[in-house]
Structure 1
Amino acid sequence: MKILFKGTFKGTKTQRRKGSKQIRKSPILFLSSFFFTLFSFSQQQDSTKVNSLDEVLVAAVRVTTKTPVTFSNMDKKEIKYRNLGQDIPVLMNYLPSVVTTSDAGGGIGYTGIRVRGSDATRVNVTINGIPYNDAESQGTFWVNMPDFASSVESLQLQRGVGTSTNGSGAFGASLNMLTDSYASKATGEISSSIGSFNSNKNTVKFSTGLLNDHFELAGRLSTIKSDGYVDRASSDLKSYFLQGTYVGKTTLIKALVFGGTQKTYQAWNGIDAEKLNSDRRYNSAGEYTDEFGNTRYYDNETDNYNQDHYQLHWSESISDKWSTNLAFHYTKGKGYFENYKADALMAEYNLASAGDVSETDLIRQKWLDNDFYGTTFSAKYVTEKLNVIVGGAWNKYEGDHYGKVIWARNAGTSELGDHYYDDYSSKTDGNIFAKANYQFTEQLSFYGDLQYRNVHYKANSAETGLVNDTFHFFNPKAGLNFEINSKNTLYFSYARANREPNRTDYEGGNVKPEKLNDFELGWRFNSEKFQLNSNVYYMGYKDQLILTGRLDDVGNPIRANTEKSYRLGFEVDATIALSEKFTLRPNFTLSSNKNVDLAVDGEFYGTTKIAYSPEVIAGNVIVYKPIERLYVSLLQKYVGEQYMNNIELPAAKLADYFVNDLNVSYEIRPKTIFKSITITGIVNNILDKKYVSNGAMWDIYPYYYPQAGINFLAGLTLKF
């Protein structure tokens, strides 16, 4: 993740947290003590399984078709067909209004997602209801949890403000993920894949099944490696997932420990227009000129990060009407990025000058050492006509930022281990909410949602200055759901959202919190062979923090408040069963995304298009199942042209692109040894389209992130 502190553009994307090393190294001990504590309790409980209690983990943040909110779901079955090593944003690429990109060009390593033109800092992500976005940058860095898709039971993407959730407020979308449910019988799984750019993934999973009808222990180990499409854009990723589950008649308790270690060669500098035409795979990261005038590349221009998550969930079904969920969580992150700096000013690194020498070549590391911990809780009450959820959360982030010089050609009087800067920041985020669905008649229901959120952020650095801000946000939401008949439903909703600035915003100065009023009008049609979801949305912003297209000196996107702006769009997605063998799943979005009376550096530009907001986004999945257990799909994605700044500079325009992927999966069910053997393959960009999905502006000069041409991944999964 990007480190948010001083340096140069060749910076990091690292996010880190501080905490106990002893805890981080003992996940087995953590789960063992959990089971020991519960053992005597289990003797008094009925052994009835309660799969439905899994849903309580995400009930506070998820919605159904009874709720007037625009959303899409993906389950484990849909994920598995393409789960060959690429990251979660890439797997979500074909959902409505979604645009994804990859720094390394092949979907492994650093990946990004935008929804309705809103970037990842505005997509609120939760895992089992626990916030995942970095508290300071508000971004989401999937590279820190490689192969997490292999442990996801289902996910839901709510577009717009959506329902009340934990963590930073959603300004473009909310993504909540539910991790694997428990298995009643013992299972094992081994899967491996290989592909272009020396990419490979190896995964081992297991489950003990329910022991004594009460306990299950399940886990996963994964490794992913790739050289990347871009030169030297390598990834070396490792992850684990360990889950202990207790099942009683009315109780579900889960203890989870999961995390990852990543080492990626930096690939986020981009390339200019000349290189895009002559050498698309060029990477300037680590490039320097030695004392003999030779161009060389530092071989450890890398981002290095460890992140470990601990979650404990207690779901209880008190009666037919009441259920509760209580969770505690802790995330530890620590890491750094390392890079070579030529001709650095010694004074900037606290290196005492030797005589007339004031510059030196050096190798620096920028560190983050962070903790994130807290609790979430909710209670649900259900009757025939009323569904009420009340809950809240309290979370705290603490982060140390510091830099070290590990080598210098002219080191002066410095000592190894000296810090050339030390910053500290903390953020406390608490919220309470109450939301309800009330069925007025058999056809008409009302949805209401009230949330109060309190945020306190402190920081001290040369860039942010001394920050000590407190925000009080009230976020009301309401809507109506009208079932015309068994097949047709109309809904209308209004939602208010407020968000605090992130750390990089404070570096820019004069920053304001932003406000959003989101209106959604939708129609859902559901029949046996045809399902249709369509909606019109209007998102009106006050002081929206829009991407300017520029990057700060460590590569973080710079945002600025625009007093008035809006996003107006029309979204459609459908599932059409043409026959028992053919299914179509098309979607498209038409939108207008505008700044109103935009002023930049005292110059007025009138009404302009918001950066990184294409007016047309379309996707389609054509599924063909010629025989049982053979799955063939053609996945198509079109993204219209978009600007990389807000003044519609011609040089800042990214061209539109249309990409096609071919996915094949065949399952064999032998009678002995293995329960299932699945062969899966995907050919990405089968038409070898040379396209760019992302970029940035250096003053008036565009820089691009080219994506890979035709490439493939193929995998084998053995289940027993």
Structure 2
Amino acid sequence: MKTILKGSKLNNKSILFLLSSIFFTLTSFAQEEQDSIKVNQLDNVLVSAVRVTTKTPVSFSNLDKKDIKSRNLGQDIPILMNYLPSVVTTSDAGNGMGYTGIRVRGSDATRVNITINGIPYNDAESQGTFWVNMPDFASSVESLQLQRGVGTSTNGSGAFGASLNMLTDNYATKANGEISNSFGSFNSRKHTVKFSTGLLNDHFELAGRLSTIKSDGYIDRASSDLKSYFLQGSYVGKTTLIKALVFGGTEKTYQSWNGIDGVTLKKNRRFNSAGMFTDEEGKDRFYDNETDNYNQDHYQLHWNESFTDKWSTNLAFHYTKGKGYYENYKEDASMGDYGLTPVGTVTTTDLIRQKWLDNDFYGATFSLKYKDEKLDVILGEGWNKYEGSHFGKVIWARYASQSELGDHYYDDFSTKVDGNVFLKVNYQLFKKLSLYGDLQYRTVQYKANSLETGLVDDSFSFLNPKAGLNFEINQKNTLYFSYAKANREPNRTDYEGGNVRPEKLDDFELGWRFNSDNFKLNTNFYYMGYKDQLVLTGELNDVGSPLRANSGDSYRAGIEIDATLKLSEKWFLQPNVTLSQNKNKDFYFTRDGVLQNLGETNIAFSPDIIAANRLTFMPVKNLQLSLLSKFVGEQFMGNIDSELSKLDSYFVNDFNASFEFKTNKVFKSITISALVNNIFNLKYESNGFFYTFDDDYSNPPAVKTMEGVGYYPQAGTNFLVGLTLKF
């Protein structure tokens, strides 16, 4: 809930969850061994809207349950995705729990489209993704696919760096259960219980999960107390699959998004300034409830129907309820800013405030799919609405004046309606050549009123065409080329910056796939040309969220290479590397009071080199040992190429071990897992901030001490060990 943004007074009317029938486009999702994702055929209908295969001219990576189970010990989904191509992850608490973030091809999380079973997960207003609201969700994920670039049309906000779609657990035919516990550094622990009834009367299944995660965090007081649940009911018929899902989570996280400056970084890497104040005796103290508190519940209903071998449909309804607040101690706050009248000559006061968000998000999707030997067509539409109430309370003040408990010092309200219709066609023109076309029309209407944004009443209409071809040279080699156009609306924080424009993207992708028994290779060249790209400025707002600004013309261009090599029956190698250039073409910046054209500059938080590797050794059956390595090149935290803003490169190595005992007694299997992160105890920072003041940064000081430059240190050597019992 990191971006609680101001809005209007809470509307307490009940939500009428009645939505018209809506079409939602789907792409074919073939059951190919090389895609390594196995889904029941009826479940396949559900995700084919957003999934692609090697027959689609798109760059992508797949992960399924077995790929992440040995590392699923409490860390968030972005951390579990850390070793995919072009991915950079970070953690506010420093150990992968609590608030975590992901960037793909240099694009931040607000530009990565996230869906769960085809339903949007990105926050409608901020467009961000807050994984802390769904702790241990990885334990209920059957598979996920990361499409880099624009990808194919999907529901929700446009993908400007990547799209990530997740499929939750498939139904089980036989009853089963699972108990999983893990413990580790910084007093971290995870406890998970799962169950499934199996198919009762060959048609009905009930499955669920309860989880709790707690950690003190690497950073001082960066504690997390997270709870989550997942409940799924399924009906399975010969041609019908109906799923009803309820899942969600509650989080209480001590704030740790302030970062630290360069001097503190050298003295005390774990220092956290959140909640710091000076008491009446002049002593520095920390408020013990400087926390973020949020509860989020999701409801989904899916109906998949296969009428014939060629025709199928998917109808889905969804509703998400979110409510929570930040709590902050504010020292010497202006009484007028909080609706308080002065007490005599006293115009400032220490106080404790809460900033609340109470929102509702609901909608529906419907798809119709036709598939024969040569033609795959999907036609559909999606509609979603967001209603958000933002308000603030003062729950304590040293000088309370006329205030009453429960008074609001601001009341704002916002709505966003997002609708789209799109058509996807994949046609086998010749035996070796297939053509792909994808056309989406999307409309957005956004209204908001607050002190920061002013009165906003904006609407957009976007036409997003995509086309490509796929050429199978032979059974082992495939070439593909695609072009995609994308448009995207600003988010709420962008409007706070004043005059903001929607952004446009032309994405060109050229790839080669090689597939043999012992060696798989994916090579992809991309050029992403932007108009008015909303790039990160390096600055943060008052609640730690990154700010963005239009940059005019810019581009991202690079090559992505990933491979899987079977060295022997016991040794496997999985390397990947991305080499890129990420540039603003003509970047303007006010320096010494004069607007200057700095020419071509590097885009903030966009390293030129990202590489990863997984070396796996399986000495005996059911024992797996892996060395995981990640290199991220140096990157600028601003857009003016200031040496002061450079974030150093880092090379981190983790060790993962897993051993499974098969038993025939009480438990079906017993699995012991261990994860040692940062085995060489590297001191590194994966994120930071940089305020581009109206100053000359051409000759920065040797030591980065200037206020306005900050870092988020990550933990040194730390570990997690887990035990999973299946029955």
TM-score bucket (shorter structure): over 0.9
Matching of residues 158-557 of structure 1 within 5 Å: 158-557=147-546
Name the counterpart of 2:2. 2
Partner of residue 152 from structure 1, selected from 141, 150, 157: 141
Alpha carbons of structure 1 residues 395 and 338: separation in structure 2 relative to 1, 3 Å: same
* CA drift at 1:552: 2.0
Name the counterpart of 2:713. 706
* CA drift at 1:215: 0.2
Query: What residue ranges of structure 2 are gaps of 5+ in the alignment?
Result: 18-38, 694-707
**Bigger Cα displacement from structure 2, 51-60 vs 267-276:** 51-60
Partner of residue 579 from structure 1, selected from 548, 559, 568: 568
Q: Distance in 2 between matches of 1:6 and 1:166?
A: 26
* CA drift at 1:108: 0.2
Partner of residue 663 from structure 1, selected from 656, 660, 663: 656
* CA drift at 1:51: 2.3
Q: Which residue identity is paired with 1:454? A: T
Contact 2:178 2:726 in 1 (8 A): yes
Q: Distance in 1 between matches of 2:492 and 2:574?
A: 40
Q: Distance in 2 between matches of 1:393 and 1:147?
A: 28
Q: Give the ranges of 4+ consecutive aligned residues of structure 1 lying more than 4 Å apart after TM superposition.
A: 16-24
Name the counterpart of 1:12. none
Contact 1:3 1:368 in 2 (8 A): no
* CA drift at 1:354: 1.1
Partner of residue 688 from structure 1, selected from 675, 681, 685: 681
Alpha carbons of structure 1 residues 660 and 23: separation in structure 2 relative to 1, 3 Å: farther
* CA drift at 1:478: 0.1
Partner of residue 560 from structure 1, selected from 549, 560, 571: 549
Q: Distance in 2 between matches of 1:698 and 1:610?
A: 15
Q: Which residue identity is paired with 1:686? A: I
Partner of residue 603 from structure 1, selected from 572, 579, 596: 596
Q: Distance in 2 between matches of 1:89 and 1:443?
A: 37
Alpha carbons of structure 1 residues 472 and 23: separation in structure 2 relative to 1, 3 Å: closer
User: Is residue 669 of structure 2 the alignment partner of residue 676 of structure 1?
Assistant: yes
* CA drift at 1:231: 0.1
Contact 2:10 2:413 in 1 (8 A): no
Alpha carbons of structure 1 residues 20 and 309: separation in structure 2 relative to 1, 3 Å: farther
Q: State the TM-score, normalized to the length of structure 1.
A: 0.94
Q: Distance in 2 between matches of 1:512 and 1:668?
A: 57
Q: Which residue identity is paired with 2:709? A: P
Name the counterpart of 1:719. 726
Query: What residue ranges of structure 1 are gaps of 5+ in the alignment?
Result: 8-15, 25-49
User: Is residue 657 of structure 2 the alignment partner of residue 650 of structure 1?
Assistant: no
* CA drift at 1:557: 1.2
- Per-residue CA deviation, residues 116-152 of structure 1 (Å, 9 max, x unaligned), is 0000000000000000000000000000000000000
User: Is residue 78 of structure 2 the alignment partner of residue 60 of structure 1?
Assistant: no
- Per-residue CA deviation, residues 84-111 of structure 1 (Å, 9 max, x unaligned), is 0000000000000000000000000000
Q: Which residue identity is paired with 1:244? A: G
* CA drift at 1:3: 3.0
Q: Distance in 2 between matches of 1:23 and 1:475?
A: 31
- Secondary structure, aligned partner of 1:597: coil
Contact 1:231 1:283 in 2 (8 A): yes
Partner of residue 82 from structure 1, selected from 71, 80, 103: 71
**Bigger Cα displacement from structure 2, 422-431 vs 695-704:** 695-704
- Secondary structure, aligned partner of 1:90: helix
Q: Distance in 2 between matches of 1:328 and 1:5?
A: 27
* CA drift at 1:618: 0.1
- Secondary structure, aligned partner of 1:163: coil
- Secondary structure, aligned partner of 1:648: coil
Contact 1:17 1:368 in 2 (8 A): no
- Per-residue CA deviation, residues 341-371 of structure 1 (Å, 9 max, x unaligned), is 0000000000111111100000000000000
- Per-residue CA deviation, residues 424-452 of structure 1 (Å, 9 max, x unaligned), is 00000000000010001110000000000
- Per-residue CA deviation, residues 445-464 of structure 1 (Å, 9 max, x unaligned), is 00000000000000000110
Contact 1:251 1:315 in 2 (8 A): yes
User: Is residue 94 of structure 2 the alignment partner of residue 105 of structure 1?
Assistant: yes
Q: Distance in 2 between matches of 1:54 and 1:624?
A: 33
* CA drift at 1:551: 1.2
- Secondary structure, aligned partner of 1:606: coil
- Secondary structure, aligned partner of 2:264: helix
Q: State the TM-score, normalized to the length of structure 2.
A: 0.93
Identity of aligned residues (%): 74
Matched residues, number: 687
- Secondary structure, aligned partner of 1:347: helix
* CA drift at 1:556: 2.0
Partner of residue 119 from structure 2, selected from 106, 110, 130: 130
* CA drift at 1:21: 9.5
**Bigger Cα displacement from structure 2, 115-124 vs 375-384:** 375-384
Q: Which residue identity is paired with 2:177? A: G
* CA drift at 1:245: 0.3
* CA drift at 1:553: 2.6
Q: Distance in 2 between matches of 1:61 and 1:5?
A: 30
* CA drift at 1:65: 0.3
- Per-residue CA deviation, residues 200-223 of structure 1 (Å, 9 max, x unaligned), is 000000000000000000000000
Contact 1:160 1:173 in 2 (8 A): yes
Q: Distance in 2 between matches of 1:687 and 1:79?
A: 23
Q: Which residue identity is paired with 1:635? A: L
Q: Distance in 1 between matches of 2:6 and 2:343?
A: 24
Q: Which residue identity is paired with 1:104? A: A
Contact 1:307 1:334 in 2 (8 A): yes
Q: Distance in 2 between matches of 1:560 and 1:295?
A: 36
Name the counterpart of 1:72. 61
* CA drift at 1:600: 2.0
Q: Distance in 2 between matches of 1:553 and 1:662?
A: 38
* CA drift at 1:20: 8.8
Contact 2:638 2:692 in 1 (8 A): no
Contact 2:6 2:390 in 1 (8 A): no
Q: Distance in 1 between matches of 2:290 and 2:712?
A: 18
Q: Distance in 2 between matches of 1:20 and 1:578?
A: 63
Alpha carbons of structure 1 residues 22 and 550: separation in structure 2 relative to 1, 3 Å: closer
- Per-residue CA deviation, residues 404-437 of structure 1 (Å, 9 max, x unaligned), is 0000000000100000000000000000000010
Alpha carbons of structure 1 residues 272 and 246: separation in structure 2 relative to 1, 3 Å: same
Name the counterpart of 1:624. 617
* CA drift at 1:278: 0.7
Alpha carbons of structure 1 residues 143 and 695: separation in structure 2 relative to 1, 3 Å: same
Contact 1:85 1:201 in 2 (8 A): yes
Alpha carbons of structure 1 residues 18 and 211: separation in structure 2 relative to 1, 3 Å: farther
- Secondary structure, aligned partner of 1:271: coil
Q: Which residue identity is paired with 2:725? A: L
- Secondary structure, aligned partner of 1:388: strand
Q: Distance in 2 between matches of 1:115 and 1:567?
A: 11
- Per-residue CA deviation, residues 294-352 of structure 1 (Å, 9 max, x unaligned), is 00000000000000000000000010100100000000000000010000000000011
Q: Distance in 2 between matches of 1:18 and 1:224?
A: 33
* CA drift at 1:4: 4.4
Q: Distance in 2 between matches of 1:711 and 1:419?
A: 43
Q: Which residue identity is paired with 1:240? A: Y
* CA drift at 1:603: 1.9
